[in-house]
Structure 1
Amino acid sequence: MIILDKPYVSKFLQDTIKRLNIPVLKNDAVEELKLSEEIPYLTDEQFVEKYKEDSGKLLYCNSENPINWIANNLAFTRLPAIIQQFKDKVQFRKMLEPMYPEFYYKKVRFDELEALDVSEMKFPFIIKPSVGFFSMGVYKVVSRKAWVHVNKQLQIDALAMAYKYPPEVVDANKLIIEENIDGDEFAIDVYYDRNGNPVILNVLEHIFSSGEDVSDRVYITSKNIIEKHYDRLIEFFEQMGQAFSVNNFPMHVEVRIDRHDNILPIEVNPMRFAGWCTTDLAQHAYGINVYEYYFMQKKPDWKHILKDKAGKVYSIVVADVPKDINIDSIKGFEFELFKKHFQNPLEIRKVDYSKHGVFAFLFAETDEQNMDEIEYIVKSDLKEYILFQQC
């Protein structure tokens, strides 16, 4: 069973739903997003009753907006409590204390920021919403001087977050300060099967332009990335699964892996895979339909899948509008020029930039020896692809 919601539902997901005949909750978002009428929709009452018929029913959400609906309508299950443990970063850290007893974190309220004394904190540290999404309101604070700027920016971000997302998805009133986690950052689409065993469906490396960058501009996956980290990630997910006692549960997990191969979790996004349906990259890269694999409880044969993937890198590019640009000054975008930058663009999905601050998501295939095209786009402000109104 699936609950679809804003901000985006891909055609690929809709086609998969129709092919597998998966029941979908008919909520307001279905109408707003103008989704296919061929999808087998259920009313709230029908959806709840069907879920009650089988306590082992598999549920997936394409975004975290339905979390409140699940809490209100599926309270007879363990789902709301499990979701809350993952979604609230303070609770998440508390649950992981046995695995990471020395990890520093601190809960702080938004109205405490002005009076917060950071002089005794170890720099750098990370501050972010305790309940958050899409790197919104996430800052790396490198000094007391930098804290002054971050504090002011958080005041601005709080208004934007409240406007764009419900508090179940992003809540800037409650924040978490935690020690900076060193290492390379990875995002993993994984589900726990009926027996509580983790099944990895994709591993994405998060590429940054600098040590201070916290944006979501580029994620890449490849044969080398998966083969290098797969075994250690499975071990980590087995430990985390035991700590949270989960099964029949999909998630998108962000971690850092240091030079000693130690894995430290950043956050878990419950009930979904990579946001905005960017998880569909797995189909382009590896022929893995993550929705089908989850609902059919299939496990990728990675040895077979990766045998002919040597030398190829697959990327998700989030084309965000620079923050210093007035949205009203934008006339349009050079989508074709943007695509031509890449050696082999696989798919481009246009987005309403005025609502989301992003004008496109692009999937691409790149030869490893041509990684300059990825490095360039990570550092670019993308203004060369924006058409401006004439003064």
Structure 2
Amino acid sequence: MNQNIKPAGSNYCFISGPVISPTLLRAIQTCDIPVYVQPPTSALPETINILQDAEAVSLIQNENAIAIMNWEASLSFILENLPQQRLNQVNAFKNKATFRKLVKELYPNLFYVELTRDNLLDFRLPEEVETVVLKPSLGTASIGIRTVHGQQQWEKAVDSVIKDIDIAKEHMNPAMLNDSSFLVEEFVDGDEFACDGFWNANGKTVITGIYQHPFASSLDVSDTVYYTSKKVVAETIEPTIQVLEHIGNKLGMRRFPFHFEFRLSNSNLFPIELNPLRFGQVSLPDITEYAFGFNPYDLFFADERPDWDSLLTDVSNSKVYAFVLASIPPKYKSEKYRFDEESFCDNFGDRLLNYLPSNPEITPFFGVAHIVVDKVEDVLEYLNLDFGSFLRSRE
């Protein structure tokens, strides 16, 4: 970490949620970034400058102030106070159907349609489309997303999605998840990735991290594993920048952080969604610091870019750094079971770099592990972890 880094302009950060990235906390302290805290949040170090409500509102309304948040729960407060231009930019990304329209000219033949909850069951797949993805237009954390293979699976998928969302809405604000509108889009087969970065003061795209997001099967939509390495970044950074430059130029983006998700199919990049005003949640960016030795939040606050040309030398000789999310199994009941964190951590042996616990009453997971392995195959074995095996009876 560069101890001499200087923040550029008026930065501030919104923090909420039970899992706070150590990488983010170090950057906040190094750069002396003011923080607005929203519950539920773990205790923060006393050295951090905590903003009061009026101060936070004043900063949001300042067109020259630069915001980043660590968790979607902060978004509703931000949206209530953003200047109109920045609000329009956020809304262009936050609504998945609006975002699909934004990039349509890049992919004119890709099918998509927006539906309301009331007319979901009336939808019929076009003859030329075999598989679609159903998702809430406004959502987070892969909640309510299903891949549907053919019309015969549609009704069951809709029922499953609605149940997921109805349960999740009980502890999420409407800015995070909403069931009034849904996006149905053609499924693009290929490897899935996520990318953190920002548009800098000159409107140029800065990539701070790229992660591959593997799945256990074609039906899996979980966030269980993400990993990064020199190879992952080297093979994806150029097409990623090209698409993000197009988006940034179209909307006139400046000093704006994002978490971008996409698929690569036959060397072509297809955007899935772009989450505004944040990097990856639940300390995902920490694996970039482990892998490449720089703090991505430091670079955002200072409006600087990584030296990828130097960092990506000797691509073939690279360890793999991963994020493993301990999801809550269906049988879990807080009054009946506890999660054995020690056993979960022991499962990784000397691969474990760090473990951050969460609160399963607030989030759909118990915690997250950061690990390092020698090869990708070592990471993929964790896709099939039985999280129920780490539950222990309270009786």
- TM-score (norm: length of structure 1): 0.91
Q: Which residue of 2 aligns with 1:379?
A: 384
> 36, 41, 45: which is aligned to 2:45?
36
| More deviation, 373-382/128-137 | 373-382
Residues 28 and 147 (structure 1 numbering): CA distance in 2 closer, same or farther, change over 3 Å? same
1:342-382: CA deviation from partner (whole Å, max 9, x where unpaired)? 552111111112332311201111002xx443222102222
- 5 Å-filtered alignment, 1:99-178, equals 99-118=106-125, 122-178=129-185
Q: CA deviation at 1:77?
A: 4.5
1:197-222: CA deviation from partner (whole Å, max 9, x where unpaired)? 00000110001111121111101101
Q: CA deviation at 1:288?
A: 1.9
- 5+ residue gaps, structure 1: none
> 4, 7, 14: which is aligned to 1:3?
14
What is the one-letter code of the residue matched to 2:113?
A: K
Structure 1 distance, partners of 2:194, 2:157, is: 25
Q: CA deviation at 1:229?
A: 1.6
Q: Which residue of 2 aligns with 1:232?
A: 239
> 294, 308, 313: which is aligned to 1:288?
294
- 5+ residue gaps, structure 2: 1-11
| More deviation, 177-186/281-290 | 281-290
Count matched residues.
Answer: 383
Q: Which has the higher contact order (CA 8 A, sep 6+)?
A: 2
Residues 158 and 332 (structure 1 numbering): CA distance in 2 closer, same or farther, change over 3 Å? closer
SS in 2 for 1:246: coil
What is the one-letter code of the residue matched to 2:178?
A: D
Residues 383 and 68 (structure 1 numbering): CA distance in 2 closer, same or farther, change over 3 Å? closer
**Conservation of the 8 A alpha-carbon contact between 2:60 and 2:81:** no
SS in 2 for 1:295: helix
SS in 1 for 2:283: helix
Query: Would you say 1:69 and 2:80 are equivalent positions?
Result: no
**Conservation of the 8 A alpha-carbon contact between 2:144 and 2:162:** no
**Conservation of the 8 A alpha-carbon contact between 2:343 and 2:390:** no
> 289, 294, 303: which is aligned to 1:297?
303
1:100-142: CA deviation from partner (whole Å, max 9, x where unpaired)? 2112111111122234344757221000010111110000011
| More deviation, 57-66/167-176 | 57-66
Q: CA deviation at 1:147?
A: 1.8
SS in 2 for 1:377: helix
**Conservation of the 8 A alpha-carbon contact between 1:250 and 1:271:** yes
Structure 2 distance, partners of 1:132, 1:271, is: 15
Structure 2 distance, partners of 1:203, 1:354, is: 30
Q: CA deviation at 1:4?
A: 1.5
- 5 Å-filtered alignment, 1:208-219, equals 208-219=215-226
- 5 Å-filtered alignment, 1:343-354, equals 343-354=350-361
**Conservation of the 8 A alpha-carbon contact between 2:60 and 2:78:** no
**Conservation of the 8 A alpha-carbon contact between 1:342 and 1:364:** no
- 5 Å-filtered alignment, 1:333-352, equals 333-352=340-359
Q: Which residue of 2 aligns with 1:267?
A: 273
What is the one-letter code of the residue matched to 2:15?
A: L
| More deviation, 1-10/301-310 | 301-310
Q: Which residue of 1 aligns with 2:5?
A: none
Q: CA RMSD in A?
A: 2.1
**Conservation of the 8 A alpha-carbon contact between 1:206 and 1:218:** yes
SS in 2 for 1:349: strand
Q: Which residue of 2 aligns with 1:57?
A: 65
